[in-house]
Amino acid sequence: AELRKASKRLSCHKRYKIQKKIREHHRKVRKEAKKRGHKKPKKDPGIPSAAPFKEELLREAEQRKQRLEELKQKQKLNRQKEHEKKRKLEAKKDAAKIKEKAEGKESSGKSKGKTNKLLNKNSKKSFCRELMKVLEASDVVLEVLDARDPMGCRCPQLEQAVTCSGGNKKLLLVLNKIDLVPKDNLEKWLNYLKKEFPTVAFKSATMMKDKTMEQVIKRRARVDFSETSQYFGSKCLLKLLQEYSKTQDKAIQVGVVGFPNVGKSSIINSLKGKRACNVGLARGVTKSMQIVQLDKQTKMLDSPSIIADPSNSALALALRSVIDTEGSDSADVLEGVYAIIHHCSKQQVMMHYNIPDFRDPEEFLSLLAQKRGMLKKGGVPDIENMAKLVLCDWTGARIKYYSQPPGFQKPPPYLTEQKIAEMQEGFNLSNLEQENSNTVQALKHPSPASSIVFQSAGMTNGTIEENKVIEEGSEWVNMETSKEEEEEEEEEEEFTESDDDDDDDDDDVKEESQVQVTRKAKPGKRQTNPTNSKEQMAGNERSRLLSFSLDKPADEDDAYDFNTDYV
């Protein structure tokens, strides 16, 4: 039997009650409307018949209406045209995708070729190639040094290449970030370096005003950008270059070279007075030669960073290598942080980070992670990410540390007295010294008590020639490009046939084996100095343990047991 629907009938008492409530509500609404004095909107009375030129006014009103309608129609047509264009473009893209999928292997080969081109821009060899272009094209080479560790920022291979190249090439040293070191220490370094090459004291602006900067200032009116946008020593350097171009009677090209994060692009922006080159905290932002015209007589050539040689100490590789901390192995980052802490005063590090006493760098990182709230699941300190942050602080402009110049002047073997005289020829050195003293006096310097004393590891060896570069593919993949490549590969893998999938699997296995080989080869590449062998032996042991733990799961995943899995 079918179920009957529930009746909608109400009892009379309930119905009358609802009607009463509605009447009361309407009464209440009317009363409130009276109190507010709500009036109906008046209709437009139009033009009175007695008004002069009534017909003309009516005509004008009609014409206005027609114009508005025409405008609306035009806008509608434009919108329709735009929609049609978009549809056509989408249709073309879809057709191209279908063609690529139909081609199969050919399309996958093309995509691999594209990724290889993108990777080539970020490779060590391309960096060396671009750096050599800058060195060959420039008349004056500016080697930028970090004032906190000037000796560690000097590259003997680059200096030798410039001094022994001939062709009247000049090399100037630019001591950047002078606001991060005490005044006495800066003066000592200027006196030490000027005996080998003409040296300019400089403080570059980290944030230059452009359209985006103006928008940020409008949004954040209270934020003070005075410290970051100030620069000192630009007039001195410009004057020096202009005087040299006059002696040569020609327009000169000035190449700016140095290790990563020393402020090469920031110096060019400071000289130009606006943002001409991209700058950032990440290492290796500049990937190719960039030409910036200062005036009729001087052209600035921005270059990629010098590649640090793998034979350098762990400290030099941590502070001077081009590899970004986000892309590099955690073992390398930890080893670099350990080397930095071993080369500093323990008490000063404790004072700076405001942490209690620690036995080793690992305990230092765990204490710092707990203090800053960088914890993993279960409240375990995130040591790896903390190490990356510490390394970013030391390579950036956050930490104020300084190193002492060597006790006695011993120039490198390629710098003879004749070469020093050649490099100083054509520059007004007395005027330069006066200008440097003025810039030092104008700046506010930190006190030695608030800075950390740092033991420099000496000059850092670099690879300039393209043939001597050893590529490490896994470290040189840019984060943005890798994401795009993965998306393209996923789309292609969905539509390819089974044969193509087999080929891709074979390629993936080869790539994994190459990555394992590079991982296993890494700890053995670095050579330790005899002075701090104990410290670096401990660091190497840690890196080996970490690399072993990284390699182990990959081997277990590859070893399939067909007897158990496919029974």
Of 228 and 496, which is predicted with more confidence?
A: 228
Quick check: 523 pLDDT over 90?
A: no
Has residue 153 been placed in a domain? yes
Band the pLDDT of 260: cuts 50, 70, 90: confident
Q: Report pTM.
A: 0.59
Quick: pLDDT tens for 266-313: 888 888 888 878 776 677 677 788 888 888 888 899 888 888 888 888
Q: 193 near 154, Cβ under 8 Å?
A: no
On whether both 333 and 276 belong to a single domain, the answer is: no
CB-CB neighbours of 466 under 10 Å: 14
Same domain, 356 and 417: no
Comparison of pLDDT for 485 and 154, the residue scoring more: 154
Q: Is the pLDDT of residue 518 over 50?
A: no
- pLDDT at position 218, please? 47
Segment 534-564, tens digit of pLDDT: 445 545 544 444 443 434 444 444 454 545 5
H/E/C letters for each residue in 527-555? CCCCCCHHHHHHHHHHHHHHHHHHHHHHH
> What is the reported pLDDT for 367?
92
pLDDT-above-90 percentage for the chain: 17
Residue range 361-379: average pLDDT?
A: 90
pLDDT digits (tens, 9 = 90+) for 427-444: 888 888 888 888 888 888
Instruction: State mean pLDDT over 436-456.
Output: 87
- Beta sheet of 140-146, edge-to-edge order: 199-201, 170-176, 140-146, 252-257, 298-302, 290-293
| 386 and 270 together in one domain | no
Higher pLDDT, 422 or 112: 422
Residue of 232, 254, 231 lying closest to 241 (CA atoms): 254
Is 514 part of a structural domain of the chain? Answer: no
Do 187 and 146 lie in one domain? The reply is yes
* Sequence-ordered list of residues with C-beta below 8 angstroms from that of 196, at least 6 positions apart, any chain: 173, 411, 415, 420
Q: Which two tokens stand for residue 205?
A: 């602006």
Residue 268 sits in the same domain as residue 132 = yes
Give the integer Cα–Cα distance in Å for 46 and 375.
75
Q: How far apart are CA 208 and CA 168, in angstroms?
A: 34
What is the count of structural domains for the chain?
A: 2
- Kindly report, residue by residue over 155-192, the tens digit of the pLDDT: 999 988 888 887 788 899 999 989 889 999 999 999 99
- C-alpha span between 311 and 307 (Å, rounded): 12
Structure tokens at 437: 């003293």
Element (H, E) at 338: helix 330-342
**Residue 458, both tokens:** 């000496």
- Can you state the angle between helices 533-558 and 330-342, rounded to 10 degrees? 170
pLDDT, tens digit, 9 for 90 and up, residues 341-360: 888 888 888 988 899 988 88
Tell me the CATH number at 346: 1.10.1580.10
Task: Let me know if residue 98 belongs to a domain.
Answer: no
Whether residue 302 is found in the same domain as residue 333: no
Cβ atoms < 10 Å from Cβ of 298: 20
Q: What is the pLDDT of residue 322?
A: 66
Q: What CATH number has the domain bearing residue 291?
A: 3.40.50.300
CB of 223 within 8 A of CB of 107?
Answer: no
The verdict on 386 and 368 lying in the same domain is: yes
Does residue 261 sit within a domain? Answer: yes
Q: Are both 265 and 372 inside the same structural domain?
A: no
Answer yes or no: do 244 and 301 share one domain: yes
pLDDT at position 324 over 50? yes
Decide if 97 is inside a domain: no
* pLDDT tens digits along 117-144: 444 556 778 888 888 888 888 889 999 9
Residues 6+ apart with CB under 8 A from 278: 265, 285, 286
Both 202 and 248 in a single domain?
yes
What is residue 18's predicted lDDT score, i.e. its pLDDT?
A: 96
The pLDDT of residue 317 is above 90: no
Residue 78: per-residue pLDDT: 92
Per-residue pLDDT for 334 more than 60?
A: yes
Percent of the chain with pLDDT over 70: 72
Identify whether residues 425 and 387 lie together within a single domain: no
- Residue pair 179/445 in contact (Cβ under 8 Å)? The answer is yes
Maximum distance among all Cα pairs of the chain, rounded to whole angstroms: 119
- At residue 22, the pLDDT reads 97
Q: Higher-confidence residue: 423 or 492?
A: 423
pLDDT (mean) for 388-416: 85
Q: Label residue 264 by pLDDT band (50, 70, 90).
A: confident
pLDDT at 205: 78
Tell me: do 204 and 305 sit in the same domain. Answer: yes
Residue 151 in any domain: the answer is yes
Domain encompassing residue 262: 124-210+226-311+408-446+457-463
Mean pLDDT of the chain: 76
